[in-house]
Structure 1
């Protein structure tokens, strides 16, 4: 009987040690996906993600405005002229990337839409757009924009229409 008690008390610390081992094989490591988006003009945009950064391989050392939009969205349409001006003004240090969500359009329809609104910056279309939106926690409001600094860190998240002056002030800080 005494042997059983000794064996029981010897096994308890061993079980606690094994259960608390940080190298437990069931522990999952956080994995950040590499995402590939395709523009309506057929250019691939590779995005390497981490906890709080989005590194676009095509746009290193540029501040980026990631604009989640839909063609049917009146506020999205109203912002395009302002976004076009800001892109032109800061073109050496800044780029805008449109990500079409909640809208199924062919690339041909999207090119016509881009021509109608004089959109010269990259616009992506396809299933990967929704996956990218999910990676960022989902897009519940359209438009939603993310402003990234030159190092890829997320500086601001905007939901809904953003005053042009506020956006320009933030862009100036992002490109520094």
Structure 2
């Protein structure tokens, strides 16, 4: 009996270790759960979300950087990748991107909008301006009238995916869900540069754009 006990103890330890390993393999990272339960993104298949137990870090990285298609009422589309402090518009060559989150019912937003068109014309080769409509239920007709009245001759997304993109951006900026409008964010080569909460003088934005352009 004395010679059998060490063998029995080894078997028990082997069994316990095997259970712990299995438990660790079945744990699903939080990021994977969030990616599967959040809004759908372009290039994420249903199969990816159903294979949680077989997921790995490479798949999580791919999912977080997937392209979301934004669409305007003029049927213009742009694919964007939003990941932490990055905002990349796939088919845009300008190094500096200005993203303005606004609503048609917001007086400060309306007052600031015309200046964005001027900035895009001024820095045509270096700056791309895009508007993201949020918290707004205006129909297509009212939106078109609004865009014409305030000379929004730049890409303005009125797509349902705006909600998803907005949540990603405010999370990266560590802002409250009820953030102040307008919210304007500058990105340089896809990376966060600076942002402004509420209305700010156009001279300040102009200065930051020029500084971003000059920086290597």
TM-score, normalising length from structure 1? Answer: 0.83
Q: Which has the higher contact order (CA 8 A, sep 6+)?
A: 1
Cα pair 1:67 1:144 within 8 Å, conserved: yes
Q: What residue number does 2:212 align with? A: 174
Cα pair distance change 1:124/1:10, threshold 3 Å: closer
Structure 1 equivalent of residue 146 of structure 2: 113
Query: What residue is the counterpart of 2:134 in the other structure?
Result: 101
What is the distance in 1 between the residues matched to 2:138 and 2:68?
21
Q: Show the counterpart of 1:147.
A: 186
The change in CA–CA distance for 1:79 and 1:51 in structure 2 (over 3 A counts) is same
Given that residues 37 and 124 in structure 1 are in contact (C-alpha distance below 8 angstroms), is that contact kept between their aligned partners in structure 2? yes
How much has 1:38 moved relative to structure 2? 0.7
Q: Distance in 2 between matches of 1:124 and 1:107?
A: 12
Unaligned residue ranges in structure 1 (runs of 5+)? none
Equivalent residue pairs, number:
175
Deviation at 1:6, TM superposition (A): 2.9
Query: For the aligned residues, what is the CA RMSD?
Result: 2.7
Residue 69 (structure 1) shift = 0.1
Counterpart in 1 of 2:159?
126
Please state which structure has a larger fraction of its residues in helix. Answer: 2
TM-score by length of 2: 0.70
> CA shift at 1:51, angstroms?
3.8
Q: How far is the alpha carbon of 1:12 from its aligned partner?
A: 4.7
1:156 shift after superposition: 1.5
